[in-house]
Amino acid sequence: MKNLFIYILLSLIFLGCTTKSEELGVRSEELGVRSEEFAENFRIEKDSVYTKLTIISPWEENRVLYTYYLVKNDSIKVPSDGIRIKVPLQSIAINSCSHVAYIDALGEIEKIVASSDPAFVYNENFRKKLAEGGIKNLGGSYDMNFEQILREKPEVLMVTGFNGVDKTALRVQETGIPVVYNYEWVEKSVLGRAEWVKLFGEIFDCREKADSIFNEIKTEYIKCAEMASKVTNKPTVLSGTPYKGTWYIPGGQTFMAEFFRNSGMDYFYSDNKDNFSLSLSLETVMANFLDADIWVGVDVKTYDRLAAQDERLMLFKQIKNKKVYHHLNRTTDTGGNDFWESAMLRPDILLKDFIKIAHPELLPEWELYYLGILN
């Protein structure tokens, strides 16, 4: 249920993109001011003595939510309109499993001293440190243990930013521990999400490494998307499963719709302008998708368990043709799922999974990484 809730949440906020790099979100006229090409919710500006990191509201255009000044020396004076953070960080506490992927990609997993819901993290390096007692449990993401945070004394607490106030984060800030708000989950493109590795690169003072990681991801994603854009036969696709009587289908400008588009699939709601999930009845989904070629995003691994959810699901054409895929290929016994973790940083890998499903001839040697076929 936790993973399904996250899937629904993520589906509410992602906009799509097409295949050419300039249409994927690059704003070349702004690159002299903003260091990012695709991400809209943060800005990095390099000064002679400090780096200014600005967090932009995803909900109010051009509204600055938070400003941080990253310095390497405590004696450096910074403007009074932001929070001083000394870099590189030596310790950090986090409240989202998705943060782990970015930190580990930079080789900084040892800097994590505390985490919300650590049992739900998939990352092997994280779990090893957790087993050794090197990472403390902060409780739930929405009810972090204030006292535990103070005991660990991280140099920074990173929290997922929402359109509201996190009272625990405010209390932590008042104690002198800087709180960095992360809005990667609200970015309008999958490459925008991946580009948040640059923000992590700034706070860990490894900018070149972060830039290199992102550039490799961007290049591979665009290459694969352009390859898939040349196909003429586009299989139709269905996504998700019903939950408590409602089927949450990705809107035409969502995270999943972007992958369908860039992997050469035909999606019924591709012309829909919503960047959130559409709440539909099973009957409506059956009317529109009963004969679709492919079904992805199922939250079980077997047909028997799918049938147990609702026998009517067995009527879909994809069942008969054995073209049903789950997102549970990389999971742990304690509930970790890498689909919600490193796939957010590596859309290039996830795109290859979708291309392999839709057009296996384009990637004959590729083996599914995040997605798997039902048994």
Residue 347: predicted pLDDT: 97
Q: Which whole number is the average pLDDT over 232-248?
A: 94
Please provide residue 350's backbone torsions phi and psi, each rounded to the nearest 5 degrees.
Answer: -65, -40
pLDDT tens per residue across span 24-62:
433 333 323 445 799 999 999 998 899 999 999 988 888
Distances (CA, A) of 90 to 85, 169, 203, 241, 301: 11, 20, 10, 42, 40
Residue 255: predicted pLDDT: 81
Q: Which whole number is the average pLDDT over 306-330?
A: 96
Residue 8 has pLDDT above 60, yes or no: no
Are the C-beta atoms of residues 340 and 6 closer than 8 Å to each other?
Answer: yes
Residue 35: predicted pLDDT: 55
Residue 132: predicted pLDDT: 97
Residue 13: predicted pLDDT: 36
Residue 98: predicted pLDDT: 92
Q: Which whole number is the average pLDDT over 222-239?
A: 97
And the tokens for 284? Answer: 């409506």
Q: Which of 12-16, 114-118, 153-157, 188-192 has the lowest mean pLDDT?
A: 12-16
Can you say whether the dihedral through the CA atoms of 79, 46, 20, 18 is positive or negative? negative
Mean pLDDT of all residues in the chain?
90
pLDDT tens per residue across span 81-130:
999 999 999 999 999 999 999 999 999 999 999 999 999 999 999 999 99
Give the contacts of 72 (CB within 8 A, at least 6 positions apart).
86, 87, 205
Q: Which whole number is the average pLDDT over 180-188?
A: 92
Q: Which whole number is the average pLDDT over 64-72?
A: 96
SS (H, E, C) the chain: CHHHHHHHHHHCCCCCCCCCHHHCCCCHHHCCCCCCCCCCCEEEEECCCCEEEEEECCCCCCCEEEEEEEECCCCCCCCCCCEEEECCCCCEEECCHHHHHHHHHCCCHHHEEEECCHHHCCCHHHHHHHHCCCCEECEECCEECHHHHHHHCCCEEEEECCCCCCHHHHHHHHCCCCEEEECHHHCCCHHHHHCCHHHHHHHCCCHHHHHHHHHHHHHHHHHHHHHHCCCCCCCEEEECCEECCEEEEECCCCHHHHHHHHCCCEECCCCCCCCCEEEECHHHHHHHHCCCCEEEEECCCCHHHHHHHCHHHHHCHHHHCCCEEECCCCECCCCCEHHHCHHHHCHHHHHHHHHHHHCHHHCCCCCCCCCEECC
Check residues 347 and 36 and name the one with the higher pLDDT: 347
Q: What percent of the chain has pLDDT over 70?
A: 91
**Structural domains of the chain sorted by starting position, each given as residue range(s) with its CATH number in brackets:** 2-16+230-373 (3.40.50.1980), 26-222 (3.40.50.1980)
Residue 6 has pLDDT above 80, yes or no: no
pLDDT tens per residue across span 136-181:
999 998 889 999 999 999 999 999 988 777 889 999 999 999 999 9
Q: Which of 8-12, 193-197, 300-304 has the lowest mean pLDDT?
A: 8-12
- Max mean pLDDT among 229-233, 242-246, 273-277 falls in 229-233
What is d(CA 291, CA 180) in angstroms, rounded to the nearest whole number? 46
Q: How crowded is the C-beta side of 157, counted as CA atoms within 13 Å?
A: 30
Are the C-beta atoms of residues 3 and 14 closer than 8 Å to each other?
Answer: no
Residue 1 has pLDDT above 90, yes or no: no
Residue 328: predicted pLDDT: 97
290: confidence class by pLDDT, cuts 50, 70, 90? very high
Residue 21 has pLDDT above 60, yes or no: no
